Amino acid sequence: MAEPELAADFITLAKVVKTQGRHGEVAVETFSDVPGRFAAGMRFFASPEGGKRRELSVTDVWPHKGHLVLKFAGIDSITEAEVLVGRELQVPQIERAHLEPGWNYVSDLIGCDVFDRDRRIGTVEDIQSGAGEAPLLIVKSGKREVDVPFAEAYLREVDLAHKQVKMALPEGMLELDAPLTAEEKAEQKR
């Protein structure tokens, strides 16, 4: 199969966080909770470095201290593995796993407008994983940026066709990141 050309043709499944071991293994942070998604024989493309993607083939995979450790064919030393640190491990969009109805890829939420009931909060600019049980949607509105947990307890609807995420957030949650008012600043000085 020919390699897709555009960045939008790929989906990130993991990011290499460090080397692991002496024989070219790497520890990765995963962005997929699809069971069995990472397995020997799987093909990844490392995100572009210098404009070119690198194709990698997994020969072994195992869990270790909160990460998955991957061993790739042809990467047999720490030096060879170091060039992968910080790079995203991607698959062509057409190869991503099919989800059950009602489930969504978190990466599909980037660019969606987020609503708290009927009030528009802003647009999803990024997603942060690993900060808690639920990924955080980094939502921007003008110069203001708020972190919104993409938690099932708050989620009402995801409408990817209309690029909307509808939530019912707890009272006061959006104010947690808000700048202090003049009254709050005065109280802090006391």
Please check whether residues 12 and 90 belong to one and the same domain.
yes
Q: Residue 3: its pLDDT value, please?
A: 46
**How far is residue 26's CA from residue 47's CA, in Å, rounded to a whole number?**
15
Say what the alpha-carbon torsion angle 117, 122, 123, 125 is, to the nearest 10 degrees. Answer: -120
Q: Residue 177: its pLDDT value, please?
A: 61
**How far is residue 108's CA from residue 81's CA, in Å, rounded to a whole number?**
29
Tell me, yes or no, whether 160 lies in a domain.
yes
Tell me, yes or no, whether 41 lies in a domain.
yes
What SS3 class is residue 42? coil
CATH number of the structural domain spanning residue 126? 2.30.30.240
Q: Residue 136: its pLDDT value, please?
A: 87
Please check whether residues 164 and 87 belong to one and the same domain.
no
* Exposure of 43 in the CB half-sphere (CA atoms within 13 A): 10
Q: Residue 100: its pLDDT value, please?
A: 76
Q: Residue 108: its pLDDT value, please?
A: 82
pTM of the model: 0.60
Domain enclosing residue 111, as ranges: 106-175
* Exposure of 106 in the CB half-sphere (CA atoms within 13 A): 23
Residue where one domain finishes, among candidates 40, 71, 95: 95
CB 165 within 8 A of CB 106: no
Tell me, yes or no, whether 181 lies in a domain.
no
CATH number of the structural domain spanning residue 54? 2.40.30.60
Please check whether residues 11 and 88 belong to one and the same domain.
yes
Q: Residue 179: its pLDDT value, please?
A: 59
Q: What are phi and psi of 186, to 5 degrees?
A: -60, -40
- What residues are paired with 14 via a beta bridge? 30, 89
Within 10 angstroms of residue 98's Cβ, the number of other Cβ atoms is 6
Q: Residue 113: its pLDDT value, please?
A: 96
Tell me the per-residue pLDDT of 47-103, one tens digit each, with 9 for 90 and over: 887 778 899 999 999 999 888 999 999 999 999 999 999 999 998 988 877 777 777
Residue where one domain finishes, among candidates 95, 129, 160: 95
Mean pLDDT of the chain: 85
CB 98 within 8 A of CB 37: no
Helix (H) or strand (E) holding 180: none
Tell me, yes or no, whether 114 lies in a domain.
yes
Residue type, 109: L
Q: How do the pLDDT tens digits run along the chain, 190 residues long?
A: 444 455 568 888 889 999 999 999 999 988 776 767 899 999 999 988 777 889 999 999 999 988 899 999 999 999 999 999 999 999 898 887 777 777 777 778 889 999 999 999 999 998 887 666 788 899 998 888 999 998 889 999 999 889 999 999 998 888 766 555 667 667 767 7
Please check whether residues 65 and 130 belong to one and the same domain.
no
Q: Count the domains in the chain.
A: 2
